[in-house]
Amino acid sequence: MDIIAAITTRKSIRAFKPDPVPAEVLRDIVRVAQQAPSWANTQPWEFAIVGGKKLEEIKLAFAGRSGERPAPDFAGPGRLPEPYAARAGGMFAGIAKVTGMAGGDRTAALWWLQQGENLYGAPAAIYIYLERDFCFREDATNVWPVFDCGLVAQNIMLLANCYGLGTIAQAQAVHHPDILRDLLGIAETKAMLLGIAIGYPDWDEAVNSFKPDREGVDAVARCYDID
Ligand SMILES: Cc1cc2nc3c(=O)[nH]c(=O)nc-3n(C[C@H](O)[C@H](O)[C@H](O)COP(=O)(O)O)c2cc1C
């Protein structure tokens, strides 16, 4: 698969088959993904590659805390201003449409939240974490290690696509970082940034037919003297 196909066919997968992902494939994906650039080659990313019983333990622990207020190491955006709210709203409406979930159905919304906490049934996950003090300085926040982790995360998702695997980046997967640090033996000094659920997509599930739109180039770019 060439890079353009890898990018254009990647989309978030929200229903996975239970089939396990071979260990060598997961390790290869992480090995190659690390070719991502990073500030002064600091390579701030660390990974927990998790499957099998350990992932089941994590899912169970998250289910036990379902409905609890998330306490992520990295704050989310809070209330979204425009135009972001409209884009997010369009995305949620698109999922509701293909899955048949009615807007305002609280039972369906709760069920959907639980699906997310269960990593949408993925048999494996790659958690990305990094040294807390490298990001949160006394005088300011150093965003660059997080930026670098974003680059490696996208590499992971594109590589997975090349292996016929599906992925979804999930802030939800790190909503309870204490559970992850505890079950994975990760030090308190590390901040859990993101979980990427990974597995073989269940293409029979309608939710996987959905891909939200993107803005046109003219809506997001100003061009100067390029023609
Ligand atoms: C940093 C980040 C966190 C995300 N967290 C979640 C999440 O917790 N749950 C979820 O269902 N999707 C999550 N997503 C997936 C986005 O909703 C998705 O990427 C976006 O709607 C664009 O759709 P696409 O990935 O199919 O192109 C996350 C994506 C990113 C990049």
Encode pLDDT of 149-191 as tens digits.
999 999 999 999 999 999 999 999 999 999 999 999 999 999 9
pLDDT at 103: 75
The tens digit of pLDDT for each residue in 89-121 reads 999 999 999 999 887 888 998 999 999 999 999
- Output the residue whose Cα is nearest ligand 1's atom 10: 170
At residue 192, does pLDDT exceed 90? yes
Cβ–ligand 1 contact at 169 (below 6 Å): yes
pLDDT of residue 169: 98
**Protein residue whose Cα sits closest to atom 31 of ligand 1:** 169
pLDDT of residue 186: 98
The full DSSP string for the chain is: --HHHHHHH--B---B-SPPPPHHHHHHHHHHHTTS--GGG----EEEEEEHHHHHHHHHHHHHTTTSPP--SS----SPPTTHHHHHHHHHHHHHHHHTPPTT-HHHHHHHHHHHHTGGG-SEEEEEEEEHHHHB-SS-B--HHHHHHHHHHHHHHHHHHHTT-EEEEESGGGS-HHHHHHHHT--TTEEEEEEEEEE-B-TTSGGGG-------HHHH----S--
The pLDDT score that the predictor gives to residue 45 is 98
Prior bond to 83 cis, omega within 30?
yes
Mutation pick for ligand 1 pocket among 155, 168, 208 (CB with most ligand atoms within 8 Å): 168
pLDDT at 200 over 80: yes
Q: Whose CA is nearest to atom 7 of ligand 1?
A: 170
Please name the fold of domain 3-210: NADH Oxidase (3.40.109)
The pLDDT score that the predictor gives to residue 28 is 98
> Is the Cβ atom of 170 under 6 angstroms away from ligand 1?
yes
The pLDDT of residue 4 is above 80: yes
pLDDT, average across residues 8-35: 98
What average pLDDT does the structure give for the chain?
96
CA 220–ligand 1 middle distance (angstroms): 20
